[in-house]
Each structure stands twice: as C-alpha cells, then as structure tokens.
Amino acid sequence: METILLREQQISPTEEVIENALGDSYSAYKDLIEAITDTGYGLVPQWNYYKDGKAWLCKVCYKKKTVFWLSVWDKFFKTTFYFTEKTGSGIEGLDIEEKIKESFSNNKPIGKLIPLTITIKSKDQIKDVLTVSKYKKNLK
C-alpha cells in the first residue's frame, strides 16, 4: 500500500529530508524543481504542513494561481493538478502519456474540480508534468 510521507509537523521538508524519503527518485524531484523555478516557468514552490491531511505538501504557484500540489511518498512523489470541466477539456490535446489522459477522463470530480495526478519515479516522467504545468499556468 502506498503511504504518504513527511507526516511529522515538527520536521520541515529540507532537501536532506526529501532526499532520504525519495531515494533514487530524488534526482527527478530536483530536476523538476529546477525546471519550474526557472524563468521559463516562473513557478514558486511553497511547503506547508496541512493539518487536515496530516502531512507536508508543496503548493506550486504562478502569481496567485495554484498550478499543482506535490506530495512525497515512499521512493516517489506525486503531482496533482485540479481542473474544472471547462479547463480540463484541453488535457486531451496535450502531448502527454495516454495513460495520464485516460486516468484523468475516468476521475470523478471532487466538488467542481477534477484531479489529474502524475506519479513520478524517474526523470523521464518530468516532461508530462512540465507540459501540464505550462497548460495550467496559461489558463485564464
């Protein structure tokens, strides 16, 4: 069973803590953070402890817009984007893995939002996160 990590409020998610949790997938995490904070994307990662989920989550924003949420799991991490029915209609046209599109189209809405989650274990999966990030960032 998958278990979310970084559950202790008093232990901040430092680079060392994240590296220990992610193991081999830490290099993918590092590359993703470098890419999204670069001037081409201009996204800002913000780590906060959320009491409702009892875990540290990284909210990645562009100006005031939340682009995606990042959570750390045992040896991998997940990015979750939320779309409305209207904004999610463009996902099908993106150059991302088909299984991500299928999963998104099968996801049930949470209120009015439909989640799109990408599980990342290696660097080659970052491309899809960057593609969806660019799409979400540019939505009006």
What radius of gyration do the chain's Cα atoms show? Answer: 15
* Inter-residue contact 16 to 88 (CB < 8 Å): no
Choice between 1 and 81, residue whose per-residue pLDDT is larger: 81
Q: What confidence score (pLDDT) does residue 27 get? A: 98
pTM, 2 dp: 0.95
Q: pLDDT (tens digit, 9 = 90+) per residue, 62-103?
A: 999 999 999 999 999 999 999 999 999 999 999 999 999 999
* H or E, element range at 136: helix 126-137
Provide, rounded to the nearest whole percent, the portion of the chain with pLDDT above 90: 96
Q: Return the structure tokens found at 58.
A: 């990284």
Q: What confidence score (pLDDT) does residue 2 get? A: 81
Choice between 49 and 40, residue whose per-residue pLDDT is larger: 49
Sign of CA dihedral 83, 28, 21, 66: negative
Q: Phi, psi (5° rounding) for residue 55?
A: -160, 160
Sign of CA dihedral 44, 48, 50, 53: positive
CA angle 96, 81, 8 (to 5 degrees): 125
Q: What confidence score (pLDDT) does residue 108 get? A: 94
Say yes or no to pLDDT of 1 above 80: no
Q: What confidence score (pLDDT) does residue 46 get? A: 98
